[in-house]
Amino acid sequence: MRDLNYELKQLCHRNRDGSYSTQRDRERVLDQIANQLHDWGYQHMGADSLKSKHVERLVESWKETGLAVGTIKNRMAELRWWAEKIGRQKVVANDNAHYGIGQRQYVTNVSKARELTAGDLSKITDPYTRMSVQLQAAFGLRRGESIKIRPEWADRGDKLVLKDTWTKGGRAREIPIRNEEQRRILDEAKRFAGRGSLIPADQRYVEQLRRFEYQCARAGSHRVHGHRHQYAQTRYREITGWAAPAAGGPCSRELTVAQKALDQEARLTISGELGHEREQITAIYLGR
């Protein structure tokens, strides 16, 4: 392993800030950055070698290759984390605008929804992962929630209850059980898991998460987050009676006053069911 890759990995292991997924994503991003710097000829760098010229070249490269603004901002956050840990905060400007990084584009009105098909499921060989993916699609769950959930405990008849220890940000929430398909999948999950979660008894969460990621990648189902988009768009149509803008429905300026009130009601409901605090975030799933 190259010096920089190794030292950044050690830096991450000594400073376990954030959740497991945050730590894992940070280590992956920093490893990519180290590889990029090495390919450019910076072959004798250590973790303490980060300079402004490296940051500027990285940003220019990311912009030239057309990376999304949100992706670049995420990478900048990891560069700032790196700089802070080695006591060189001034190496990275505090403001992304300094590098000409634009605002994140939340509203695209392009659907990222993904329906779960029998073909998708047939490619997943791990039964725990298969069950988690079905719960994701049926209830709009996040990946971690669909693994940590204890279906028997969560089933309250007419709603699914998620514990704060299962959710992002530690916010417990409830999701209505609205149709026979949700009930069928939840009952199947209860039979499969018994009184436990969708983590095998001999595994830890981290190990099952890795298995989940591997299974989905091998099956070609990289866009499992699209199941949350599909859930949101289905709920929007149920509540309003028309398709979301991202699914070909009318955009906000085309709605009547009464329709705008119903649109707002739907977005607030969906935001809560997906586990978000802000109505604004529904634009990512629904468009605007």
Distance CA 239, CA 107 (A): 21
The answer on pLDDT for 283 being more than 70 is: yes
Average pLDDT over the chain, rounded to an integer: 91
Q: How confident is the model at residue 253 (pLDDT cuts 50, 70, 90)?
A: very high
261 with 188, same domain?
no
pLDDT-derived band of residue 122, with 50, 70 and 90 as boundaries?
very high
Once rounded to an integer, what is the mean pLDDT over residues 195-209?
93
Instruction: Specify whether 17 is located in the same domain as 93.
Output: yes
- pTM of the predicted model, to two decimals? 0.68
The pLDDT of residue 106: 57
Provide the Cα torsion 214, 216, 18, 91; round to 10°.
80
| DSSP state for residue 155 in the 8-state scheme | B
Q: Does residue 93 carry a pLDDT above 70? A: yes
* One domain for residues 169 and 245: no
Question: 108 lies in a domain?
Answer: no
What is the predicted pLDDT for the residue at 223? Answer: 67
* Burial classification of residue 160, based on how many CB atoms lie within 10 Å of its CB (0-12 exposed, 13-18 middle, 19 or more buried): buried
Same domain, 9 and 95: yes
Asked if residue 82 belongs to a domain, the reply is yes
Identify whether the C-beta of residue 141 lies closer than 8 Å to the C-beta of residue 135: yes
Catalogue the E-assigned strands of the chain. Answer: 159-162, 173-176
Range with lowest mean pLDDT among 98-102, 128-132, 177-181, 194-198 = 98-102
Indicate the DSSP class of residue 248. Answer: T
Q: What is the pLDDT of residues 146-176, one digit of tens each?
A: 999 999 999 999 999 999 999 987 889 999 9
Domain count, the chain: 3
Q: Which domain holds residue 61?
A: 3-99
| Residue 112 belongs to a domain | no
Are residue 11 and residue 89 in the same domain, yes or no? yes
What is the structure's pLDDT at 112? Answer: 80
